Amino acid sequence: MDRHTRREFLRRGAVAGVVVAGVPIVRTFDVAAFGQAGSTPVTPATTPTSTPTSPGPQVLAAEQSPAAKPAGGSGATVGGSSGTFDPGSLPFTGGNPVALGTVGAATAGAGAALLRSRRRARAAGVGHDAEHAKRTPLERLDDVLWAYETPVLGAFGYAFTVRTSDARLGRHVEQLLAAFRSASGAAPSTGAEPHVLSLRDRGAAIQPRFASYVDDRLVAADADASLVLAALLSAIDRGAVEAAASTHLLVHGAAAGTHAGCALLVGPSGAGKTTLVTALVRSGLGYVADEIVAFAPGSTAAACYQKPISLEGPARFLSGDLRDVAVLAPGRAAARWHVAPAMLRGDPLARSSPVRAVFSVRHRAGSATTIDPMSESDALTLLVANSFNGDRLDDVAFDTASTIVRDAPAFRLSFGDLDTACALVRHALGA
């Protein structure tokens, strides 16, 4: 920069009233490592530990054999629960046992032990696949009579099919994943074999009754089918993130809007993004994405990722009338409600559209609903810190994030009342 240019630049600072004195102010933030942004793992239902009443199929014996447990003994079974979850199989937070806070220290410890055992196995020359094959031999899954299998589906280049041992359950799952058959999730042309996701009802005599697998790997087993399905949906999220991380900016958020533009909702797990996007879609906005909001290089348009809406905890009861379409097995407890977008209202799916407003959302039950503007720098920090690949952004992705916040106003939205929050978001969009 020559002196003339520098002085012209400094004059703009003078016009803005900048005074160069005092203590320099630089705020520093850590960006979550890849795999740490995103939803918390599914939390198994708290049910008494049970013992199988029959020998059951061999696959169960393999899952429960001491050899299948990681060194250290605790395995991945959460204390006090009949559910078995493989932390390594769960996306995002599952990649780092330290981040398994919501499941509790016991599970985090189990996750760490499992990861340690895998590292030891690899160091000893035992391959990842061989280790899993030992736990849940492929031929045993192939021996199951599968009643239903979806066509090949795609999520950002992650190709998969889902098969179930129960036809009714299969039809339900296919309806949940219908959007992944559309242009937004067109089957990839990579030529790679699609992953096989399996959801198995092992019958009432076997506990835990339901189990899910990615290829030959057990990812969850629980008496609650909704949790087992949640693990499969998380596997799809993880596959989509891994498929697109090198090419897209991947924000952990949700988006809804019109053809003219969408609202990008960002926040940590449990902030209320899914709850709010559900309410926005039911209020008439188009559903663009939940969990993963992807941006192609140089584009401020949110790509469609129209996964099922999954509600858990108190969030279920903010949309309580969805229970009938969400619960897999009526009469059973369902810790998670999975709702097909089509069940929210008629024709709910939107096309990819540019971000018109960014919201840092936080649901606070019983509190007033407030909205405050955010600075561009805070908004950019929000996007990068809540990106699945924020720790490995290239110049283009970082420029994409900065363009989004330069083009769209950003707000902090703290909501206690869903209707008011919807009205505020719609007002910001002019919708």
Within 8 A by CB and 6+ apart from 393, the residues are: 249, 384, 387, 401
| Three-state SS annotation for 106-119 | HHHHHHHHHHHHHH
Closer of 25 and 124 to other proteins (Cβ): 25
Question: For residue 189, which amino acid is it?
Answer: S
Under rule CB under 8 A, residue 391 binds other proteins: yes
The CA angle 398-403-405, to the nearest 5 degrees, is: 100
Residue 7 interacting with other proteins (CB under 8 A): yes
Residue 183 CB neighbour total at 10 angstroms: 9
Calpha distance 229→178 (Å, rounded):
15
Regarding 98 and contact with other proteins (CB under 8 A), the answer is no
Q: Does 346 bind other proteins (CB under 8 A)?
A: no
Residue 302: strand pairing partners: 353
At its nearest, how many Å lie between other proteins and the CB of residue 409? 12
Choices 10-18, 121-129, 276-284, 359-367; region in contact with other proteins by CB under 8 A: 10-18
Determine if 405 is a binding residue for other proteins (CB under 8 A).
Answer: yes
Strand 353-363 versus strand 261-266 pairing type: parallel
Tokens of 184: 């937004």
Indicate which single residue of 155, 390, 428, 429 sits in contact with other proteins (rule: CB under 8 A): 390
77 or 387: whose CB is closer to other proteins? 387
Lookup result for tokens 């559903």 = 287
| β-strand partners of 412 | 360, 372
Question: Which helix (H) or strand (E) element contains residue 399?
Answer: helix 395-407
Nearer to other proteins, 335 or 393 (CB): 393
Q: Which helix (H) or strand (E) holds 234?
A: helix 225-244
Q: How far is the CB of 424 from other proteins (least distance, A)?
A: 23
3-state secondary structure 295-311: ECCCCCEEECECCCEEE
Name the segment binding other proteins (CB under 8 A); options: 15-23, 220-228, 348-356, 357-365: 15-23
Determine if the peptide bond prior to 409 is cis (ω within 30°): no
C-beta of residue 294 within 8 angstroms of C-beta of residue 305:
yes
* Residue 354 structure tokens: 């540019």
- Give SS3 for 196: strand
Cβ nearer to other proteins, comparing 391 with 417: 391
Instruction: State the nearest-atom distance from the C-beta of 303 to other proteins, in Å.
Output: 21
Number of residues that bind other proteins (CB under 8 A): 45
Shortest reach from residue 2's CB to other proteins, in Å = 9
Taking the least distance from each CB to other proteins, the nearer of 309 and 355 is 355
Q: Which range binds other proteins by CB under 8 A, 38-46, 135-143, 173-181, 373-381?
A: 373-381
The reply on whether position 27 binds other proteins by CB under 8 A is: yes
Check if the beta carbon of residue 316 is closer than 8 Å to that of residue 276. Answer: no
Contact pick of 60, 162, 221, 393 for other proteins (by CB under 8 A): 393
In the set 119, 128, 406, 427, which binds other proteins (CB under 8 A)?
406
Taking the least distance from each CB to other proteins, the nearer of 364 and 406 is: 406
Q: Residue 375 to residues 197, 260, 354, 359: CA-CA distances in angstroms?
A: 43, 23, 20, 12
Residue 16 as a binder of other proteins (CB under 8 A): the answer is: yes
Rounded to the nearest 10 degrees, the angle between the axes of helix 395-407 and helix 376-385 is 140
* Residue 9 touches other proteins, criterion: CB under 8 A: yes
Q: What is the distance between the alpha carbons of residues 356 and 373, in angstroms, rounded to a whole number?
A: 14
CB of 10 to other proteins, least distance (A): 4
Give the position of tokens 């009754």.
209
Among 21, 67, 145, 183, binds other proteins (CB under 8 A): 21
- For residue 66, give the 3-state DSSP assignment: helix
Is 11 a binding residue for other proteins by CB under 8 A? The answer is: yes
Closer Cβ to other proteins, 301 or 405, answer by number = 405
Residue 360, both tokens: 């840092």
Give the count of alpha carbons within 13 A of 143, CB side only. 9
Under the criterion CB under 8 A, does residue 401 sit at the interface with other proteins? yes
Please choose, out of 18-26, 51-59, 195-203, 356-364, the segment that lies near other proteins by the rule CB under 8 A: 18-26
For the CB of residue 377, give the shortest distance to other proteins in the complex, in Å: 4
Report if residue 409 touches other proteins, rule: CB under 8 A: no
Q: Is residue 1 a contact residue for other proteins (CB under 8 A)?
A: yes
Point out which residues pair with 164 in neighbouring strands.
148, 199
Our CB check for other proteins shows the closer of 37 and 221 to be 37
Choices 134-142, 258-266, 328-336, 375-383 (CB under 8 A): range interacting with other proteins? 375-383
Tell me which residues touch other proteins (CB under 8 A).
1, 3, 6-7, 9-11, 13-14, 16, 18-31, 33, 375-381, 384-385, 390-393, 395, 398-399, 401-402, 405-406
